[in-house]
Structure 1
Amino acid sequence: EELETSKEELQSINEELQTVNAELNIRVDELSRANNDMANLLESTQIATVFLDRDLCIKSFTPTARDLFRLVESDVGRPLAHVRPRFPADRLQADMEQVLLRLGTIERQVEGTDNGRRYIMRVLPYRTVDNVIAGVVVTFVDVTQIARAEEKIGVLSHDLRNRVESLETLLDLVPVGIFIAEDGDGAEIRANRRAVELMGQRSTGDKLISVPAVLPLTLNGVKVDAEEQPLRKAIRTGKPIPGYEAQILHENGSGIDVMMSANPLFDENGKVRGAIATLVDISSHKEAERSQERLLHELQHRVKNILATVTALASRMVGTSSSIGDFFSSFQQRLQAMGRTHEVLSSYNWRDADLEQLLRAVLTPYS
């Protein structure tokens, strides 16, 4: 009976051992899968990682860590300081010791001596699931492409700044007023120095100056509505507004004639994002037109006077001439005298002429 009882107990223990063994096999499989997952994760991220214990000896490392250290499988258990690095690692030992002491994280940028690639090195404490510091983890993230992109962005930004500065200098030098509106609903626009001067304001040292979006434009003495001004109209309609003539009134009551042209600006989607306009002072041109009209009027008046004088001479000499030959000779002499009179008057710009010179020019043929 005792043997029977012992046998049953052994069978019971054996069954328990089989159960425990099955559970252990399951745990081993789970651990194996976890290790495989972790290995694939570290491999897929391409992040070089070295795990160290509290003595800063190597516990394990990822395959990409060989790009930063001359590691072999037999280096596990050796201090990391005994492994020759492939980057300047003068401060690595001190950083690892400091991380163990202060439990913080240190991050630096390093560059490989063999391949010239750039990495972000992070040194952080190795924590167990029980939140126990069991060593140090050193990771290296390859940021070569990011660094090169940042360098390229820096070069492009520098070039862009130079181009913008050159453009602003050009806008400041051109003898044409220029307005730039980057927002159709904005209360202010930017203007170059010449535009500010044409508006009758004092320009500052800035190359582009903020001015009110509504310009002091008038047309035939009537103030131009804000929405009908070329800059706003170009933004609203999305079409260029060429050759718009108006007047600008200054605060002191004076004014100038101007011609304004505006073109809309579009973004990459074809949507209006603003407008740019030019402002030209045409006061001298308008004054020249008025002077031309006065000259034409004066010319018409003088031609009428000359024709009236010639008509009067002809009428008078017809009655006093004895023959056609006598009329022709006298009429020709009178016309020549009138021509000489006009020459003298023209030499004095039709102003105060010398009377003696006029008389000599007219009477010399008869002396």
Structure 2
Amino acid sequence: MDFKALFSLSPNPYVVLDTDLRIVWMNDAYLRVTMSSRDAIMGRKMFDAFPSEPGTESHDLLLDSLMHVIESGEADEIALIRYDIAAPDGTMTQRYWSATHSPICEDGKTRYILQHTVDVTELHGLRRMRDQMGLVKRAGAIQARNTDLEAQTERLRRLFEQAPGFIAVAEGPRHEFQMANIAYRRLVGRDDLIGKPVAEALPEVVDQGFVDLLDEVLASGTPYFGSGEEVFLGADDKREQLFLDFIFQPIFDEQGTASGVFIQGHDVTEGVRAQKRQELLIHELNHRVKNTLAVVQGLASQSFRKIDPDGEARRIFAQRLHALAAAHDLLTRENWQAAKLSETLETAISAATGGDAERFVMNGPLVTLTPQIGVALAMTVHELCTNAIKYGALANDEGRVLLDWTVQPQDDETQRLTISWRETGGPPVTSPERRGFGTRLIEQGFVTQHDGKAVLDYRPDGLVCDIDLAIPMAPTTTVFDKSPADAETLAKA
């Protein structure tokens, strides 16, 4: 390339460097402004011809600008830089410069750098002009702001790329990819996304309705939330089933119009598959337990037929088995995880009393029970309901049962649950002459297995049973209040 023919006659200083920062050409104006000769600097590296201490602002600012041009292929400017040079007598003179660095490309690659240098030392030295115009100060401030913005942009780019969740930005009605981080590219198995519409870059998602969702978000300006949604990604012969939690968030322009969609989410495939495996195992467990209860009921019916002619013992046993099955059904609905105390009580009461369940009033905070405690409490409530039907508040049409419960912290891991069963409006109550099997189950059976106790108080106006047991620590802020009858009136009864 004949640089001399292009720039030798220009009054503006120009110098050409190769990618090793070696001076390969300069015009006469450059030699004049730098007070050097062609023989002295031709073929030498820039920082050898014009030395500057590495680590100083002058050295690093110039080096960064030149390397940016080489690496990016884009022009770069230095609005103001102090760079001292040697005078012909060898003394260093203070100089201020403004420089523009432009790439000279061959075959699409940067081969040379054209530096246009302007000596602004006089401008910088004229305090009056600087004070009036603020040119140098503004130039320095702009340079500092540009440097800071570039650093912030680079930090944001790194954060975007390294984000653990997948992120992408699609712009325009065709949803063309503008950005996609590493996690997103890894998710879809493609790197060539930028500039392509979603339908072109990921054709497999079109028939799955995801492009329609993007259209709807862009048209309505309303975000779309997906939870555990199934999607198939990859080429036809390598298509993979995934489950994703994600959001399509509209991006609005200055006029408030949705112009793009921000895509962000997480791959929850392993969690969803684990949940499905757990549900399968629970369904299998439920099936086996129901079969076992059916076998037990059949064996009991055959056994009681010979020893219980009138069927009373068989009926009581069947009711208890039914209460156990009802508690099991509740746990089945909760996937054998923690069940609410209120639901456990409702299920046990409904199984034992049928339509008389409306005669119960329940008040207390939200409490969750482990499966074991839930079954034990359900069996205890069943026995109390049976006693109320035979002798207590449910033995007539006017009686009611009030159920209240509270919780108090015991230590960092457990709390004490206190349940008060109070009957009112039933026949007069007297203490029984002997303790039946059901009473022993209430006082000594189910609840005592869980560091608890149940105390029966046979008051004349109605039976009172106080149950106290330890349960794991859990939130109890939400109040449950189901009161088909007037709870306040009942409490005064």
TM range (shorter): 0.3 to 0.5
Name the TM-score, length of structure 2 as normaliser: 0.34
Structure richer in strand, relative to its length: 2
Name the TM-score, length of structure 1 as normaliser: 0.43
